[in-house]
Amino acid sequence: MTKNMVILGSTGSIGLQALDVVRAHSEELRVIALSAYHRVDQLIPLIQEFQPRYVAVRSLDQAKLVRAHCPSVEVGFGDEALLTASSLSEADLLLNALVGAAGIRPTLQALDASIDVALANKETLVAAGDLVLAKANENKARMIPVDSEHSAILQCLQGSSTEEIEKLIVTASGGPFRRTSLQELKNVTINDALAHPTWTMGSKITIDSATLMNKGLEVIEAHLLFGIPYDRIQVLVHPQSIVHSMVQFNDGAILAQMGTPDMRIPIQYALFGASGRLHSPWQRLDFSRISEFTFESPDFVKFPALQLAYDCGMAKKTFPAVMNAANEVAVHAFLDGQIGYLDIVDIVRRVVEDHHAESTFGIEEVFAADQFARDDALQLITKRGTKA
C-alpha cells in the first residue's frame, strides 16, 4: 500500500535526503505536498518531478513564480499554507524538516488530524514537548524521531520496555572544535564553524553541532521521547560518527546502532519502521576500513551549551523554549557576522537568566516565551555591536 507523504522543508538537507528515499522506494511512497522557505528555484524542479497536489511557500511572489512554472499544482503561501499542507485529508505521514520554532504549529496541526509525524525539527519537542506528546496520544498519532541519535535509540529498544533501561548513551561527533582550545575559540570564523568533520547538514544545525547545543537539544528530546530521567542520559563524544547512540540495560548489556554517517538511513527507518527494512542503495559500513572506535566525555567547560541544555530541560516549563529561541537568534547573528562564536552561548545563557516562567504551561505560554527570548536576544546582540 502506498504511503502518502507531506514534506515540510523539502529543499533543506533533510528534505532533499528524504526525497532520495522516495526515489528509491517510489512504489511505496508518494509525495502529496511540499514546502520551501527560500529556495523556490530548487523547489520548482522537485514539483515537476514528484507532482504533489499542494505546495506551500513563504510569500505571494514565490507563489506566483511557482504557479507560472507549475500551473497544475495548488499553491499557498505564508503560515496558513504550512498548516494546510500539514493536515491534508489523504496524508498518512508528515515529515517535518523545518528549522526552528516554525515547526511547532504544523506538527500540532498534523497531530490534530491524526496524522503521524516523522520529526526532524527538534525545536518542536524541545520547546513544547509535553504538549506535543499529549496531543499525539490524544489523537492516536505517532511521533517518529528522524534524528540519527533518536532513531538509533528507537532501534535498540525494539522488543524492550522502558523499565529495562539503565541509561541512554547519546553520541556526538564533537564537531569541528573538539581539539580546539578555549583560547583559540575566541578567533574562529564562520567558515571554521561550518566545517563539520563528518556530517553534511544545514548551516544552523552545523553551528549547533559546533557549540554542542545540538547535543543538548537531543538530550531534551531523548528525555521526552523515551521517558528517561536526565541523570540517566549520558553524552559521549564519538568522532568517527559510526555508533549513532546506545542503550544500556539493567543487566549491564549495551546495544548500539551503527552505520555510515548518512541521514537517509534513519529517514528511511522513520518512513517505514522496523517492519519495513527495505533494500536501499546507500553506502554500506565496511569494518575492515575502520581503524578505530573512540569515545570520550564532552568538555562541559569548553562547550557550556550542553550543561545549559541539561539545566533548562530539568527546569522544564518554558525554559527549554527560551533557550531554543535565543539560540536560533544568536546562531543567525553569528552567521550574519554580527557576533563572535563564543558570544552565541553567552547570549543564550543571559536570556535564560532573564526569563521568569509563568505558573501555567500551555501553547500560548510557549509562544510568548519564544517571543520574549527572541526580543531579549536581539537587544543583547545590538548592545554588543559588530564583532566579526
Summarize pLDDT for 96-110 with one digit per residue, the tens: 999 888 899 999 999
Same domain, 229 and 332: no
Average pLDDT over every residue of 261-275: 91
Nearest Cα neighbor of 145 from 4, 259, 267, 247 is: 267
Kindly state whether residues 353 and 221 are assigned to the same domain: no
Question: Range with the lowest mean pLDDT among 40-49, 196-205, 267-276, 330-339?
Answer: 196-205
Is 14 annotated as belonging to a binding site? Answer: yes
State yes or no: 147 annotated in a binding site. Answer: yes
Which stretch of DSSP H or E encloses residue 9? none
Smallest Cα–Cα separation from 243: which of 290, 210, 179?
A: 290
Range 13-29 average pLDDT:
96
pTM > 0.95: no
Distance of CA 303 to the CA centre of its chain: 19
CATH number of the domain within which 18 lies: 3.40.50.720
Whether residues 279 and 320 share a domain: the answer is no
What's 73's DSSP letter?
S
Q: What is the pLDDT of residues 315-357, one digit of tens each?
A: 999 999 999 999 999 999 999 999 999 999 999 999 999 999 9
CB 196 within 8 A of CB 206: yes
Phi-psi label, residue 212: left if phi above 0, alpha if psi -120 to 50, beta otherwise: left
Residues 259 and 371 in one domain: no
- As a whole number, mean pLDDT of residues 2-22 equals 96
Q: Are residues 106 and 186 in the same domain?
A: no
Question: Final residue of a domain: which of 267, 288, 315?
Answer: 315
Is the predicted pLDDT of residue 9 greater than 80, yes or no?
yes
Which phi and psi angles does 140 have, rounded to 5°? Answer: 55, 40
Shared domain for 60 and 95, answered yes or no, is yes
| Same domain membership, residue 354 and residue 242 | no
DSSP string, 16-41: HHHHHHHHHTTTTEEEEEEE-SS-HH
* Residue 13 assigned as binding residue: yes
137 is in an annotated binding site: no
296 and 327 housed in the same domain: no
b/e map 167-192, b = 16+ CB within 10 Å: bbbbbbbbbbbbeeeeeebeebeeee
Range of the domain at 68: 3-145
196 annotated ligand-binding residue: yes
**To the nearest whole number, what is the mean pLDDT of the chain?**
94
**What is the tally of structural domains in the chain?**
3
Please write the tens of the pLDDT for every residue from 136-156.
Answer: 999 999 999 999 999 999 999
Quote the pLDDT of residue 123.
83
Q: Binding site annotation covers 148? A: yes
218 is in an annotated binding site: yes
Q: What is the pLDDT of residue 17?
A: 96
**In whole angstroms, how far apart are CA 294 and each of 153, 180, 213?**
19, 18, 21
pLDDT of residue 386: 46
Domain end marker among 283, 315, 347: 315
CATH number where 379 lies: 1.10.1740.10
Q: What is the pLDDT of residue 201?
A: 73
- The Cα–Cα gap between 89 and 68 comes to 26
Mark whether 160 and 132 lie in a shared domain.
no
**121 annotated as a binding-site residue:** yes
25-34 pLDDT, tens digit each: 999 999 999 9
User: Is residue 214 part of an annotated ligand binding site?
Assistant: yes
Which residue, of 296, 315, 334, is where some domain finishes? Answer: 315
Q: Is 215 annotated as a binding residue?
A: yes
Residue 12 marked in a binding site = yes
For residues 20 and 129, state if they share a domain: yes
Whether 303 and 322 share a structural domain: no
Are 41 and 183 part of one and the same domain?
no
In this prediction, what percent of the chain has a pLDDT beyond 70?
99
Do the Cβ atoms of 109 and 87 come closer than 8 Å?
Answer: yes
